[in-house]
Structure 1
Amino acid sequence: MHICSVCSEKTPKYKCPACRTRYCSLVCYKKHKDTCAPVKEPAPPCVEETASSTEPWNTEDLLDEDDCVDTVSSQRLQLLGESEGLRELLRNPHLRQLIRAIESADSKEDAMRTAMQEPLFVEFSDQCLQIVDNDGN
């Protein structure tokens, strides 16, 4: 479990994009910003470089070195956006509400555990996994 590198009190929710220091709040970020020493370090081996600069988010910011268990290629991830089945599921307001709840939750793990009790979210997850599954199963 990590603690805020600035206040050493709370669990950090954020990571400085320049030096990857973990911090818990805007107040801590502002304190950190004054002493930030940007570091140029290579991406973790599990984060793939993308050929396109139009990627909607920086995958390096999403994954920690500790989080790299399974990864999916950018090409496979693009298939998610091209899936009509996923688009149809995402038209459901209840599913969108579940996804927003996960995104805004302090504990993503607990929010995912709760969402996985919902058959609609399980269907969505299964379809995502089926699309990105390398074996095509």
Structure 2
Amino acid sequence: MQLCTVCSEQTPKYRCPACKIRYCSLDCYKRHKDTCLPVEKPASNQPKAEEAFSSDSWSVDDLLHEEDIIDRVPLQRLQLLGQSKELRDLLCNPHLRQLLRSIDSADSKDDAMKAAMQEPLFVEFSDRCLKIVENEAKGLTSCEDDL
């Protein structure tokens, strides 16, 4: 039986997203985060998503499966999302952030998205994201051109 890496007392339920150690509780996570040493990923020739979203430690490839390749949006277009003041303003809304968290943590992403699409605020957010990405696909140089 595996024990919590921090307290060595309980069975771990969680894994640190940065260094992958296993821990059992919020208290253990709080104790661990001050000494956390993130696991280094092997260097890649592909630009990483964290260059656009510096607070996250994932890449676009982590989100997609091979069968999703046809739906992949180039990183350059995704970076425009991080540059949009309008999107940042929308993300200041705690209700929208909670909707996004609930979709992210849902077991059934499809059902969570269907429920979220009933919320006008989420529809506004998703429409704005698509508009930014699609306008770049049409050759615009900035997401601000359509504001």
> For this structure pair, what is the TM-score category when the shorter chain's length is used for normalisation?
0.5 to 0.7
Task: Give the CA deviation at 1:110.
Answer: 0.8
Q: Which residue of 2 aligns with 1:37?
A: none
Asked if 2 retains the 8 angstrom alpha-carbon contact of 1:77 and 1:132, the reply is yes
Q: Which residue of 2 aligns with 1:92?
A: 93
Go from structure 1 to structure 2 and tell me whether the alpha carbon gap of 1:117 and 1:70 turns closer, same or farther (over 3 Å shift). Answer: same
- Structural mapping, 1:2-21, within 5 Å: none
SS of 2:88's equivalent?
helix
Gaps of 5+ in 2: 1-44, 52-56, 141-145
Question: Partner amino acid for 1:59?
Answer: V
When Rg is computed on C-alpha atoms for both structures, the one with the higher figure is 2
TM-score (norm. length: structure 2) = 0.55
Q: Deviation per CA, 1:40-86, whole angstroms, max 9, x where unpaired?
A: xxxxxxxxx63358444122221111223322111111110110000
- Structural mapping, 1:1-137, within 5 Å: 50-52=46-48, 54-55=50-51, 56-133=57-134, 134-135=137-138
Q: How many residues align?
A: 89
Q: Distance in 1 between matches of 2:88 and 2:133?
A: 15
Q: Distance in 2 between matches of 1:64 and 1:58?
A: 13
Q: Distance in 2 between matches of 1:68 and 1:74?
A: 13
Q: Report % sequence identity.
A: 61
Q: Which residue of 2 aligns with 1:5?
A: none
SS of 1:113's equivalent?
helix
> RMSD of aligned C-alpha atoms?
2.0
Question: Partner amino acid for 1:97?
Answer: Q
Q: Name the structure with the higher helix share.
A: 2
Q: Distance in 2 between matches of 1:80 and 1:88?
A: 12
Asked if 2 retains the 8 angstrom alpha-carbon contact of 1:80 and 1:128, the reply is yes
TM-score (norm. length: structure 1) = 0.58
Asked if 2 retains the 8 angstrom alpha-carbon contact of 1:86 and 1:124, the reply is yes
Go from structure 1 to structure 2 and tell me whether the alpha carbon gap of 1:52 and 1:93 turns closer, same or farther (over 3 Å shift). Answer: closer
